[in-house]
Every structure is written in C-alpha cells, then in structure tokens.
Chain A
Amino acid sequence: MTHAAAAHSAHDDTHGHPPTSTGLDNKKLAIWAFIGSECMLFASLISTYLIYKGRSVVGPYPHEACLPPACSTPLKAILNIPVTSASTFVLLMSSLAMVLALAAVENKDQPKTTLGEKILGSSKLWLWMTALLGTTFLGFQAFEFTSFVHEGLTIRTNLFGSSFFTLTGFHGAHVTAGVLWLLTLLAIDYRRGLGPTDAINVDLAALYWHFVDVVWIAIFTLVYLIK
C-alpha cells in the first residue's frame, strides 16, 4: 500500500479527519479545557460574592437581616426561595433532556418499534425539550431580576446587588449561549438529520449544558440557601 493510500485509509477510519496524537477528538479535548477555564471564571465570581456577603451597608439584603437596635422587626429577605427552587428543578430536568437527546443521536440507527422507543429515540423532541427548559429557566431569571429592581435592588444599589447580578447574570448569559447552541443543532437536525456520526458535536453541546447546570447547583446552595 502506498503512503497516500494508507493516509486515505486512516482518514476513512476517523470519519474524514486525520488521527490525533492522543487518539482523542481535539474538539472534545478543547471543550473540556474550556470547561476547566470556566470553572476558574465562576470560582472568581462566586468568591467575590462570598467575600462581599454581609458587607452591604444599605438594603435590600438577600436574607432576613437584623439591624440593631431595631431587631424586633427584621428586614425582609429579597431572595425568593420557592421560585428559585422551581427554576433549579427546571434546569436539572433540562440536563436529563440533554442526555436523552445525546442518547437518541447515538442510537439513531437502531430500529424503533414501540412508541416508547420512538419517543426516546427522537433527538428533535429532546433537543426541543432542553431548549424549552433552558428558556423557562431564563424566564424565571428575568422574573427574579425584574422583581428585584421593583424592590429597589439594582447592580448599583449595594455590594450584594453588584456581586449578585454579576454572578447570576454571567450564568444567565451562559444559559442563553447554550440555548442558541441547541437551536443550531435543531436546525441541523431538521435540515439533514443528526446521526451517530454527529454524536461528537451533540456531546460537546451536552458537556457545555451540563456544566452550566453544575454551576447553578453551586450557586443555588452558596447564594440562595446558605444564610
């Protein structure tokens, strides 16, 4: 076999791409490296929030506050835990929809006979579901931000407002980017269909989406629940 023929064969084995030195897809390595860098970005935002926590000299405050000597009537907490718990549940369910979308793409070639198999095997359904749940989460965040502004908390009001809106705003921007990524995958799915050879591209979007979810897991506990 000539060198050219051998190289051509190697290309065919790796779906048209030359083999990498690690044997791993460079795009997947890149997304993990990107996620690693994002960990440090959110760590800086979270630590800023935690450092400034309890240091606002004017309200509104995140949790019930007591300003002596008027401790008999503590100041009302601004964070709405029931609403945020619902949005957290929505984001967790979007992660479930995302893994089901990836599994559907990976198994596109498998025969589907029962209704359950057809539902589980529909990548369009699960991609739509993920995008819809992500958008619902953003709706919750828009509601929360709007109600905070109506209650007098803006990014300029106090240290809590500055660090809170920066942290959750950055997270919301990441969710928005994720929804746009999902919509592009949906467009490709409608145009030519996503198959097992596209699994790597759906996997990249899924990894990003789950990362956004784990960041929210940390934010929900550190910002909303811990007083």
Chain B
Amino acid sequence: MAHDPAHQHHANVDHTAMGIEKEHPTWSVYWKVATILTLITVAEVWVYYIPSFVASRGFVPTLLVLSAVKFFIVVAFYMHLRYDHKLFRALFTAPLIIAMTTIVALLFLFGKLAARTGLGA
C-alpha cells in the first residue's frame, strides 16, 4: 500500500460531535486485532478439548479471563471506546458494572438457596 488512508485526517468527519478524542486506529491495527481475537477463540476451544484441564480448577477461570480479554479488545478497538469521549465510556461501563454485579449477586443468592434447600442437587 502506498499510504494508509486511515492515517489521513478526515476533514469532513465531525470529530467533535462523534466524540473522537484520539484518531481511530488504522486498518492494519484492525487486522491485527482480528488475528488476536481469532487466536484467543482457538485457545478457548482448544482447552475445552483437554479433559485433564477441564477437570482442573483452572478451567473456568481461564475461560472467563480469555473471554474478558476478547470483550475488552472489541470494546476498546472496534467500538473505539479507547479513542472516544469519556462520557461514552461512562455510559457503557456504569451499566456494565451494574449488569455484572447483578449476575454475581443472583448467582450468589440462588447458589445459597440451592445449598440451603437442597434444590437442584
């Protein structure tokens, strides 16, 4: 490629209204991100087929960490949250924290109930 179009300043794109604080990544960054996401997905499926690892205590935390990394990469690079206005970040992270807290709280609540009542054993 003679030049990377994404390096150019987009004169007709309203950066302020779009909340773009830093220039968005180049197409080559997008390809690298896609490669990393694919490799993480391959790793996730790979560990799923290792019976000794599935039986170990590290299986679930490993999958959760890999999934969280993929989640963060897509949000930061593809959704441009790393490059855009902090108000957008707040609008996404605040409900996300509430949502994750809700999941954990519900699991804790129902897990406790199951242990106490013997339901779902």
Interface positions of A from 93 to 109, Cβ below 8 Å from B:
93, 95-96, 98-100, 103, 106-107, 109
When chains A and B are docked, how far (Å) is the Cα of A211 from the Cα of B96? 12
Q: Is the CB of A39 within 8 A of B96?
A: yes
Q: Is the CB of A24 within 8 A of B19?
A: yes
When chains A and B are docked, how far (Å) is the Cα of A100 from the Cα of B16? 21
Knowing A40-B95, A218-B67, the reply to whether A92 touches B34 (Cβ < 8 A) is yes
A128 within 8 A of B: no
- Binding-face segment, A48-56, A144-152, A168-176, A181-189: A48-56
Interface size of B as a range = 35 or more
Chain B facing A: main interface SS: helix
Chain A facing B: main interface SS: helix
Interface positions of B from 44 to 99, Cβ below 8 Å from A:
44-45, 48, 54, 59-60, 63-64, 66-67, 70-71, 74-75, 78-79, 85, 87-88, 91-92, 94-96, 98-99
Q: Which residues in B have their C-beta under 8 angstroms from that of A24?
A: 16-19, 85, 87-88
Number of interface residues of A (CB under 8 A): 69
When chains A and B are docked, how far (Å) is the Cα of A9 from the Cα of B8? 26
Among the listed A28, A100, A121, A206, which residue makes an inter-chain contact with B19, where contact means beta carbons less than 8 Å apart? A28
When chains A and B are docked, how far (Å) is the Cα of A40 from the Cα of B12? 35
When chains A and B are docked, how far (Å) is the Cα of A43 from the Cα of B54? 25
Q: Is the CB of A96 within 8 A of B31?
A: yes
Among the listed B10, B12, B16, which residue makes an inter-chain contact with A23, where contact means beta carbons less than 8 Å apart? B16
A180 within 8 A of B: no
A14 within 8 A of B: yes
Q: What 10 pairs between A and B have smallest CB-CB spacing?
A: A36-B95, A43-B99, A196-B12, A221-B67, A55-B120, A25-B17, A32-B91, A107-B5, A96-B34, A47-B106
Interface residues of B (CB under 8 A from A): 1-3, 5-6, 8, 10-14, 16-19, 24, 27, 30-31, 33-34, 37-38, 41, 44-45, 48, 54, 59-60, 63-64, 66-67, 70-71, 74-75, 78-79, 85, 87-88, 91-92, 94-96, 98-100, 102-103, 106-107, 110, 119-120
Interface residues of A (CB under 8 A from B): 14-15, 17, 20, 22-25, 28-29, 32-33, 35-37, 39-40, 42-44, 46-47, 50-51, 54-55, 81, 85, 88-89, 92-93, 95-96, 98-100, 103, 106-107, 109-110, 112-114, 116-117, 120-121, 195-197, 199-200, 203, 206-207, 210-211, 213-214, 217-218, 220-222, 225-227
